Amino acid sequence: MPTIQIGAHVLFARQAQGEDAPAPLEWRSSELSATNLAHLDVTGNCFIFASSSVYLQSEHLRHDLSRHFQIPDWFWGARYQLSNGSFGSDEVYENDTRAYTPQIWSQYLVKQLERNTGYKPNHVYVWYSIKFWAFQTASGKTSVLCFDAPDRFRLELLESLKSRGWRSNDPGIYQLHTFLLDQIINLYDESVWALRDLVRNLERGRTGIRPVEPDFPALHDIARHAIHVSETLDVAIENVSSMLRQYTSFPEDRSFQSAEEKTKFRRTTQCFNFQMQTLKGLKARSASNQARMQNEITLAFNLVTQRDSQVALGISGAMRSDSTAMKTVAILTLTFLPATFVSAIFSTSFFDFSPPAQPTTATWTVSNKFWIYWAFAAPLTIATVVSWFVWQRWYIRKSAQMNA
């Protein structure tokens, strides 16, 4: 994943001299320490990249930077630093020039996942909380502080600035924000499509010859990423919408502008509209990813339920077979048990059959002590039944206490 630069980098514009017409602005890059940044002499338009953690950890550096670039205290508070996005603007009175100069601040939260990583339960992701603070002097020069942006954000912004041919009129504070939004949109685009790759890999795994066993914690983890991406896109769209409303809110101030200024205003408005529509398109794609992810979770749950139902049907069939076998055994037992009981009694020594030599004189005798059999059998039977009844009630009561 890209890293965030701890030091400070400055992209500054320099107007080259042309023979017949002003040459395009030349954008260059330089490095500064965190201490020297608070004493930077701004002579033209510039973008300043720094890490907010450096100034949050040092009250002295934070105080010097805030005083030099007119940053209010609330900018460093936890409520703003931990926000999922915002936009605001103000006009500040300059004592030296006795004029009101504009200030703009905004924040964009981006969650990026590694692309082409496949379906991994522990996929890698990183949060970017990119904050901008911009102000314009009475002379029309704009400084934009960019906090916590990845290194490639700065490098790609520099290439974009070099490719745009600004000439006689310097870009204003809102025109410079169109360049920042282009890079912000690139980050959101990568975030949305990285999530789409994860969802697509899930769909491919499901349609394979041997479907992958669903990992529900991982599925819900990806769904969580989809929710975060949609959330941050919603806030970004609202940021750009607020910026566009603020930029176009005072048309009467432009009634005496030159034709060149009117053209710049129109082109900037068109650029903001295009960027907002691009973000809305990414939001629609993100919503699609979220719906597809929910569909995968629902399908995986239904497939597992269907499989469990099939297993339950198999168990039910086996139980029916066992029940039939047990019924057969019970019928056989009931058939032979009475005869077995009778034969067991008659085979005791209380009964005697002694056939003599002549069949007509055969005798059958019963002992007068036959009552002894019942004296033992009846109490034992009653004791067994009572013991079983007591144990059954004790077991039920104990089970109820354990489940309470």
Give the pLDDT confidence score for residue 249 in this predicted structure: 83
| Close Cβ partners of 57 (under 8 Å, ≥ 6 residues apart) | none
* 359 found inside a domain: no
CA–CA separation, 109 and 188 (whole Å): 9
What would the two tokens of residue 70 be? 């007119």
**Rounded (5°) CA angle 189-290-205:** 95
Give the pLDDT confidence score for residue 403 in this predicted structure: 82
CA–chain centroid gap for 246, Å, is: 32
* 313 found inside a domain: no
* 194 found inside a domain: yes
Q: What is the DSSP letter of 133?
A: E
> Which CB contacts under 8 angstroms, 24+ apart, belong to 247-254?
247/174, 247/272
What residue numbers bound the domain in which 277 lies? Answer: 8-308
* 347 found inside a domain: no
pLDDT in single tens digits along all 404 residues of the chain: 444 445 688 877 665 555 455 556 677 788 888 888 888 877 778 899 999 998 999 899 999 999 888 899 999 999 999 999 999 988 877 665 566 678 999 999 999 887 755 555 556 889 999 999 998 887 778 889 999 999 899 889 988 888 876 654 567 889 899 999 999 999 999 999 999 988 888 888 776 555 557 778 888 888 899 999 999 999 999 999 999 999 988 655 555 567 777 888 888 999 999 999 999 999 999 999 999 988 888 888 888 888 888 888 888 888 888 888 888 888 888 888 888 888 888 888 888 777 666 666 667 788 888 888 889 888 998 999 999 999 999 999 988 888 87
* 396 found inside a domain: no
* 34 found inside a domain: yes
Give the pLDDT confidence score for residue 275 in this predicted structure: 96
Q: Are 159 and 183 in contact, with CB atoms under 8 Å apart?
A: no
CA–CA separation, 83 and 349 (whole Å): 97
Looking at residue 336, its amino acid is F
* 114 found inside a domain: yes
Give the pLDDT confidence score for residue 319 in this predicted structure: 84
What would the two tokens of residue 42 be? 């701004």
Closest CA to 185 of 256, 95, 285, 262: 285
* 322 found inside a domain: no
CA–CA separation, 128 and 1 (whole Å): 11
CA–CA separation, 11 and 2 (whole Å): 19
CA–CA separation, 68 and 137 (whole Å): 12
- For the chain, what is the domain count? 1
Return the SS3 of 352: strand
CA–CA separation, 154 and 5 (whole Å): 10
What would the two tokens of residue 180 be? 């920042």
Query: Which residue is listed with tokens 């940021």?
Result: 239
How many residues appear in the chain? 404
Give the pLDDT confidence score for residue 286 in this predicted structure: 94
